[in-house]
Amino acid sequence: MLRIEDLGRRPYAEVLELQRDLRRRRLAGDLAEDVLLLVEHPPVVTMGRGTRPSSLPIPPAGLERRGVEVFEVERGGDVTFHGPGQLVGYPILDLREHRQDLHWYLRSLEDVLIQALGGMDIEAGRNPGRTGVWTSGRKIASIGVHVKQWVTLHGFALNVTNDLDPFDLIVPCGIPQVVMTSVAEELLRADSESLMTEARARVVAAFGNVFGLTAEPRPGLPSST
């Protein structure tokens, strides 16, 4: 069973603490199910463990003056941007019940996004040597994860209808000259609400398919406090 929790739009710090709490509970055996959190964030830049100084040409204080929060987090990968219109997914999975293989997990997340985009008539795939999902040489989804005792944290970000200009504030994923794109850009569609609704549904269906789980949306995750 995969428990789906659609959080709407929430601040990054709030959802980061929720992820950490859910992982603690999964490790302790107090949470029996895998969980997929789906969320949109206000503008925020996150720096993974692989972030290089050159990936952040504007210092954190300068980004914050532009209304963009900045967080250093434990996930792998370099720097990335989250904003409204981007579908962010945080799987809290116990890989001991799937496969204890980080490479397999990363490739599986890519498979989820490739399948979901294919269902929306976007031909997407991998870029050899790089994590994430691409279409026609442009990057449409980023992935960065952390695993502790085989329980996962962090996840993926799929550009759906978000403004792509803020990516110019950073070097996305530390890749110079990378061109970012979105579902809306690729399909030349402006119906933001319906695109996001479809993207959520496609991602949930693909996630269940790739990981062999039955998705079950439930309102309100029980708090541990």
**Active-site choice (145, 169, 173, 199):** 173
Name residue, tokens 């959080």: 7
Instruction: List the beta strands (DSSP E) in the chain.
Output: 2-9, 34-40, 44-47, 69-72, 79-82, 86-92, 125-127, 130-135, 138-148, 151-159, 215-217
Alpha-helical regions (H) of the chain: 12-28, 60-65, 102-118, 183-187, 192-211
Residues in CB range of 34: below 8 A, 6 or more apart: 1, 2, 3, 91, 92, 93, 94, 97, 211, 213
Query: Inter-axis angle of helices 102-118 and 192-211, to 10 degrees?
Result: 140
Residues 129 and 219: their CA atoms lie apart, in Å, by 39
Task: Reply yes or no on whether 41 is catalytic.
Answer: no
Side chain identity at residue 68, one-letter code:
V
Buried b (16+ CB within 10 A) or exposed e, 72-97: ebebbbbbbbbbebbbbbbbbbbbee
Q: Which are the catalytic amino acids?
A: 173
